[in-house]
Every structure is written in C-alpha cells, then in structure tokens.
Amino acid sequence: MLITRRRSKTGMSRRTFLSLSTASALMARGAQAQSPTNPDVVIVGAGAAGIAAAHELRAQGISYVHIEASDHVGGRAYTETSTFGVPYDHGAHWVQNGARNPYFKRAQDSSHRFYKAPEEYLVLAGDQVATDAEETQLWTSYDDVARAIGTAGRGGQDVAPSTVIPMDNAWSETAAFLIGPWEMGKEMDNFSCLDWWNSADSVDYYCDAGYGRLVAERAAGLPVTLNTPATTIRWGGPGIEVETPNGTIRAKAVIVTVSTAILAEESIAFEPALPVDKQESFFAIEMGDYNHIAMMFDADIFNLGQDGYVVHQVKDSHEAFGALTNASGSGLAYCDVGGEFAQELEGAGEDVAIDFVLGVLRNAIGSDVDKHFKGGAMTTWRLNPLTRGCYASAAPGAYKMRPVLRAPVADRVFFAGEACHQDMWATVGGADLSGRDTAREVVKTLG
C-alpha cells in the first residue's frame, strides 16, 4: 500500500511525516483510433508510462504504434466494478506524491470525488484492540525504524535495512512490516536504505471511482492495439523491428514500458542481446510483492468511518496484513499483504488468504466480522505473466543500477516505466512522468 507517504525522513513523529502490412491486422484487434502504417516509434505497454508517452508523442507530432499484451489499458493501475459492484482497484489505489503527480490535477479536473486520505488507525494486539500505550509504542518503534533506515540512506549506505534497524520491543516487527512488506513489497533484507532514502515523500489522495479508472480515462481516444504482445525486439539495424504474433512493426525507435521482472525473465527477446550491465539492471531493480485481499463488508465493523486503517501486531511471524477499510464509503476493505507472505498466499490461493484475514479480524473484533462479510477476492501480481510482481526497488548494493536501467541503448531502444523514474518509482505518477520524459528524449534523439 506504499506508505512512503507517511514515513519519516526527518525523525519527526510518524503522523507528521512521513511494417507494416501487418499494421492493419494489428488494428483490427482492438485499436480504438487510427494507428499509422509507418510509425516513427513503437510503444510497448499501455500502463501509465505507455499512455503518457503516447500523449507526448502525439502532442509533438511524432507518429507511433502502441501495442499492449493484455485486453485492457492501465497495467498495474486497473479498476473494475464487476467483482463487488463498486470500484475495485486491483493495483494502485492511493493517488500519491501530491501535485507532483500529474494525476493529481487530472483527478481534480475530473467529475469524480477526489479527496485527501484521512489517517485514522485501529491497532489490534492479539485478541483485543491495542491500548493507548501499545499504540504509542508502535508509532515510536515505527519512527525508530524509519529513522535508522533514513540515517543509513542519507549517509550513502547502500545496505539492507535489516542491518541497521533496532528490533528491540514487542512492536518492532510490526513497524518493520509497515515499512518493508506493506510499503516496499519486500522483506527488510531485500531492499536498499539508499534507494528508500532517495524516494519522494508523499501526500495521499483518493479518487472514489478508482485510480485505475483515472488512468483508463487518460487513455481514452488513444490508438492502443490490445492483445498484442511484443515477443522480440530487433535493434541491430538502422531502426528497430518489434515482432508480435500479429506481425512485425518497423520503426525508428521503441519505448519499452514493461516491468523489470518481465525484462528479467526475457518475455521479450532482444536481438542482438542487450549490453550486460543493462541486463543486470533488470535484476538489480527488482520487483517486490504486494497484493490486495479485498473484503466486502455491509457495515462499518471497524468503527472508523470512511477510509480508516487497520494494523495488527506481528509477532514471530511474517504473516501480516495492513488494511484500508471502507474505501470511499463503499464497504470494501483492502487487506494488503507484502513480501514473502504475499508470494506464499498466491501459492496457497484466495480461500486461504481470505480465511487468514477473517481469522485475525474475528479474533479481535468478534462475530460481527462474519455477520457482515459479503465476499472477498485476492490479486496475484506475481503470478501475472505481464507483471511478475507489484513495483520495483533497488536490491541492497544495487542503487547504482538505477541510471543504467533508465539509459537508452543505441539511441533507439528506450526504457520507461515506474522503475525508471528518479524518485517517484513504484508509483503511477512516476510511471507517467517517466513515460512523458522518455518520449521527449526520443523526439530529441530522432531530431
């Protein structure tokens, strides 16, 4: 759930901080508007980054073909209403980074309700609600953990948080969960203090129609050819060739916006092979794991009103979730798991995941939980062959690979996406800005 927005970099209290004969065949499969037959650029992927790149190329009068492997736009920002009858964000839900995020203004200008996220917490300790003293201890521990990571990062230490954080009280594990699995989608030994330190702070907002809806609306009218995966990108000649099951597209340059895990597992073959350090960067800026276990309740069993948070104490186990309850008053609770436990639950299945959440809630809140529970669903972003995880961050020691990931190859293979943004990585806003900036670089390079 990315609580980057609430973490402390200052040590203040937690609440204050923190070719084209085939082109026509391609279009027949889902193009919403006309794609050119001899494009200058091919954009691979229609998530936030690809959509932003398309807008920029269009604004600058550069022709492009835009292909997307799945049957919808949005990628990791996707809202649907069929599961629960209310907007359900499978991926991004928090509109982060305040006005730096281009979606902030777009949401303000939209017809949707857009509002600042409240920060009301219910903290559970075993079979009861935590006392004030316990809650204070949690937030003090959180500040201590965040400060230790921030101090190491500010000092240039490209090391894992597990080597610097204090684990000295009954709430340390919970604090570590909030910053590790819940924010970064990774365990504390799996990301870099330096990378964490160099990420943007955030103020969060919600859009009642869903974040994915905003992204889909941004794509309206753009010619995206759906159900068309890039399988091979050839860049050895003067231009590029993008091979798809529906034919080969030739252009001067390609913008690749797929996740680093998709690049690492070579879902798209590059011919000739990309430089070794480039390939290494796909593994170094690695994807984490974060999933929603979405639970629908027909009453406010948490007594938090709209958009409250529930956190439960973690003890001697990594089995934990953090929840956003009653999202925009819809009754839907996003009970989110991260890191290794998220991967384990993907393997165990949706029913096990739902039972786990119900068990924790039942224990502390009682039978109201079962009485008002109407159904649940779980996302599986690691199993998804088009993402293989949630969002990326540098492994310990790998911060130096961020610019390598961003760099174009041979002035014709360009990379964009959340992982390519300097400090707003792991977010929709970062993906959007990366797509826009990369498109500008392409225009400059093409002259």
Ligand X SMILES: Cc1cc2nc3c(=O)[nH]c(=O)nc-3n(C[C@H](O)[C@H](O)[C@H](O)COP(=O)(O)OP(=O)(O)OC[C@H]3O[C@@H](n4cnc5c(N)ncnc54)[C@H](O)[C@@H]3O)c2cc1C
Site residues for ligand X per CB under 6 A: 2, 44-50, 67-70, 75-77, 91-94, 96, 229-230, 257-259, 262, 267-268, 290-292, 379, 381, 386-387, 390-391, 417-418, 426-429, 431
Q: Output the CA angle 386-392-395, nearest 5 degrees.
A: 130
- Closer by beta carbon to ligand X, 170 or else 409: 409
> CA–CA separation, 44 vs 63, rounded Å?
14
* Residue with token string 């794509």: 219
Kindly tell me which of 147 and 186 has the beta carbon lying closer to ligand X. Answer: 186
Provide the minimum distance between the beta carbon of 267 and ligand X in the complex, in angstroms, as a whole number: 5
- The closest alpha carbon to 271, from 229, 228, 240, 238, belongs to 240
Q: How far is the CB of 261 from ligand X (least distance, A)?
A: 10
Nearer to ligand X, 107 or 268 (CB): 268
Paired residues of 42 in beta bridges: 65, 254
Find, among 94, 142, 191, the residue nearest to 313 by Cα: 142
The smaller minimum CB distance to ligand X, of residues 87 and 417, is found at 417
Under DSSP, the state recorded for 190 is S
Kindly tell me which of 42 and 122 has the beta carbon lying closer to ligand X.
Answer: 42
Cβ nearer to ligand X, comparing 77 with 285:
77
Shortest CB 427 distance to ligand X, Å: 3
Which residue lies nearer to ligand X by CB, 125 or 338? 338
243 strand-pairing partners: 232, 248
Rounded distance between C-alpha atoms, residue 22 and residue 67, angstroms: 13
Least separation in angstroms between residue 230's CB and ligand X is: 4
Cα 253 to Cα 235: distance, rounded to the nearest angstrom: 9
Q: Nearer Cβ to ligand X, position 386 or 404?
A: 386
Q: Closest approach of Cβ 255 to ligand X, in Å?
A: 11
Report the length, in residues, of the chain. 447
Q: How far is the CB of 52 from ligand X (least distance, A)?
A: 8
- Give the shortest CB-424-to-ligand X separation in angstroms: 8
Phi-psi region of 151 (alpha: psi -120 to 50; beta: other; left: phi over 0): alpha
- The smaller minimum CB distance to ligand X, of residues 207 and 364, is found at 207
Task: In whole angstroms, give the CA distance from residue 64 to residue 253.
Answer: 9
| Nearest CA among 392, 438, 430, 394 for reference residue 96 | 430
Nearest CB to ligand X, comparing residues 150 and 288? 288
Instruction: Give DSSP secondary structure letters for 219-278.
Output: TTT--EE-S----EEE-SSSSEEEEETTEEEEESEEEE-S-HHHHHTTSSEEESPPPHHH
Distance in angstroms (rounded) separating the CA atoms of residues 164 and 350: 35
**Smallest distance from the beta carbon of 5 to ligand X, in angstroms?**
9
Burial of 267 (0-12, 13-18, 19+ CB in 10 A): middle
Residues 196, 12: Cα–Cα separation, whole Å: 17
Q: Considering the complex, what minimum distance in angstroms separates the CB of residue 114 from ligand X?
A: 14
**C-beta of 72 vs 372, nearer to ligand X:** 72
Q: Give the shortest CB-34-to-ligand X separation in angstroms.
A: 20
Q: Which residues pair with 79 in a beta bridge?
A: 89
| Closest approach of ligand X to the CB of residue 390, in Å | 4
Tokens representing 1 are 């759930």
Nearer to ligand X, 375 or 385 (CB): 385
Q: How far is the C-alpha of 285 from the C-alpha of 421, rounded, in Å?
A: 12
Encoded tokens for 197: 């330190």
d(CA 427, CA 447): 30
Q: In the bound complex, what is the minimum distance in angstroms from residue 97's beta carbon to ligand X?
A: 7
